[in-house]
Structure 1
Amino acid sequence: MYLIVAMIGVLLVNAITRNILNIPIHWAIEMAQFILAAYYICGGAYSLQLGDHVRMDLLYDRFSEKGKARMDAFTSFFLVFYLVCLLIGSISSTAYAIKYDQRNFSMWNPSMIPIKIIMVAGIVLMLLQAVSMFFKDLAKARGEPPQ
């Protein structure tokens, strides 16, 4: 949540310096984009933990608790597969950024290494949470008490 406050602060500084002081700062918009990217990448695992992700309730609401747990365990398999693919790609992208000191092509020219490391960390956290959810749903589907 604090990253949103930081992003608002950066955008506010940008608006004040550009519109009132007539001194444009070239790094503000990109910094706000990096902060927002870190926010939603790191927020994915937390959102999974809270169960705040969107579901298609067309059929899901009609299932029993065990049926919902079975469906969640089934779809968790696909989520884990997707996150593993993302992790492989993000590790490759981060290794490339580190090896070649990748920079964003802009006037500010920031290094892409920090945001790519944050991307890998966020995907790892989300993958761990998805695996945890899979085992919890599997236990629920078997009728075992939650732990």
Structure 2
Amino acid sequence: MPKPIRLYVHYVDLMNRRIGRFAMHILFVLMAVLLYSTASRVFLGIPVNWSLEMSQFLLSAYYLLGGAYSLQLNAHVRMDLFYSRLSPKQKAATDAVTIVFVLFYLAVLFWGGLSSTQYAIEYSQKNYTSWAPLLWPIKSIMTFGIFLMLLQAISCFFKDLALARGKPIA
């Protein structure tokens, strides 16, 4: 593979590894929010109306920011009927073909995310609950996570293409 492609793969993988490892720590924040909510309700008798939405936002940030890292580690769930019987080169060729569909899906999802985020910013969109938080922060994080997945899918495509040709990118 040409040097620009190898550099792209290296830097995208490095960035998504760091962001993915950061995203792992969001679970601790999520646990703290849920623990606070439970403790305030059980011990103080004071329900916290923002905890459910905040936990949903944190979980969304967790899986969307960590999705690219999961893709990088090849840790996604895969339906395996024939795939395990293929050689590494055949697996790479199969992955290179199927990742094109993933790229299309992620591109459409990213375009929709940009549109939705722009709308949320322009109109100060709020959620229809008693807490009524602004939605642009979580929509921005979601769109950024989809963008990272798109970059990582392109990186995976290059790696699969190189492996199918018998010259893996290290």
Report what 2:168 is aligned to. 145
Report what 1:10 is aligned to. 33
1:1-147 alignment runs, 5 A limit: 1-147=24-170
| Distance in 1 (alpha carbons) for counterparts of 2:38 and 2:168 | 54
- Give the ranges of 4+ consecutive aligned residues of structure 1 lying more than 2 Å apart after TM superposition: none
- TM-score of the superposition, structure 1-length normalised? 0.97
| Distance in 1 (alpha carbons) for counterparts of 2:168 and 2:140 | 37
| Superimposed CA distance per residue, residues 30-83 of structure 1 (whole angstroms, 9 cap, x where no aligned partner) | 111100010011111010111101112210011111110100001110110000
Matched residue type, 1:103: K
Q: CA deviation at 1:2?
A: 1.1
Matched residue type, 2:169: P
| Runs of 5+ consecutive residues of structure 1 not aligned to the other structure | none
| Distance in 2 (alpha carbons) for counterparts of 1:70 and 1:39 | 30
Matched residue type, 1:86: L
Percent of residue pairs bearing the same amino acid type: 55
- TM-score of the superposition, structure 2-length normalised? 0.84
Q: CA deviation at 1:115?
A: 0.3
Count residues with an aligned counterpart.
147
Q: Secondary structure at the match of 2:166?
A: coil
